[in-house]
Amino acid sequence: MLLLSTKHLSLLIIIFVIASQSSCLAAARSVPDLTSKQSHDIANKWRDIDDNFHSSQRGSIPELKKYFRRFGYLPLQDHYNVSDDTFDEPFKSAILNFQTKLGLPVNGKLDFDTVSLIMAPRCGVPDSETTHSMHARQSYVFFPGKPRWARDAPMKLTYAFSKDNFIDYLNISDIKAVFKRAFAKWASVIPVSFVETDDYGFADITIGFYSGDHGDGEPFDGVLGVLAHSFTPENGRFHLDAAERWAIDFRSEKSAVAVDLESVAIHEIGHLLGLSHSSVKGAVMYPTLKPRDKKLDLSLDDVNGVQALYGSNPNFSISSLLESDISANQAVDLTRIRSSSLLWATLILDVLSIIFCM
């Protein structure tokens, strides 16, 4: 039987300690799943802003003020000058509100997490600050005036695709299947059905892919900026940025900047029904979505919000939603345990191989 020397045993203990500390750190704060270019851009942006606060060159602040104005955190009145590069009280208040709305640590600072979310691809609908939830744990938000579709029961809404504003690198039947699934997600929890029609002019909901300034006052800004936007009930317009690399299956779509079409469709349908953005990061109504990420399942916050507007689908059971969440979490935990076990086994074998070869 081989015995480890004191030196070898000490080496093994040190590696175990380092590995366990690394595992704890990884569990406490996950690393964002970004491409190397995005990580580089975010790091540079953060350094630029940080440097600007310690020098006379403060060119990044006006850009941030324009962002906060666009998404509802700064006033639209002409008397507030977004070109001003001072860190004034309205700007600080905008940062605080943004951090609160998106579930970040609220410190009023342009730290890495805050700037990362500012730079993240997102929905073009401004963030509403007023929550209509009756319970502190719920964060769903309605638009001002609490608009909803007013139809006789059973409610049926029609949707149609623009034949003139489409993308040609995805099969139209596949795109329609994505939207059918997205509408079905919401229909499963509220007494509303969604039916596709060819009559674009009379459809309740109209869907199309547009580039740049497309006539609705909300121009798109290119790849990985604003992904899409839709309008409140009963407007029904749903616009996606044609400049994005839309994906239905990430196994076949290899682009590092690909965006999951179904995730965005589910989110924007929530707006069409009357929901604004939620501060719950796991909710489909959270405003940002990373490239090559998916968010396909309604959270309890999403369900409570939309049911507050339309009531519950008689076939929906809240217990089934909770069971689904628990199963998903258990599957994730099991995957992590297996990955962790494999990592430890590999580490131990590598260490022992080094020791016995010394």
Cα–Cα distance measured from residue 63 to residue 294, given in angstroms and rounded to the nearest whole number: 29
296, 262 contact by CB (below 8 A) = yes
199's tokens = 């009559």
Cα–Cα distance measured from residue 309 to residue 232, given in angstroms and rounded to the nearest whole number: 13
Cα–Cα distance measured from residue 334 to residue 329, given in angstroms and rounded to the nearest whole number: 9
Cα–Cα distance measured from residue 288 to residue 281, given in angstroms and rounded to the nearest whole number: 9
- The strand pair at 237-241 and 155-161 is best described as unpaired
11's tokens = 């080496």
Looking at the annotation, which residues are catalytic?
268
3-state SS assignment for residue 63? helix
Cα–Cα distance measured from residue 39 to residue 31, given in angstroms and rounded to the nearest whole number: 11
**Total number of residues shown for the chain:** 358
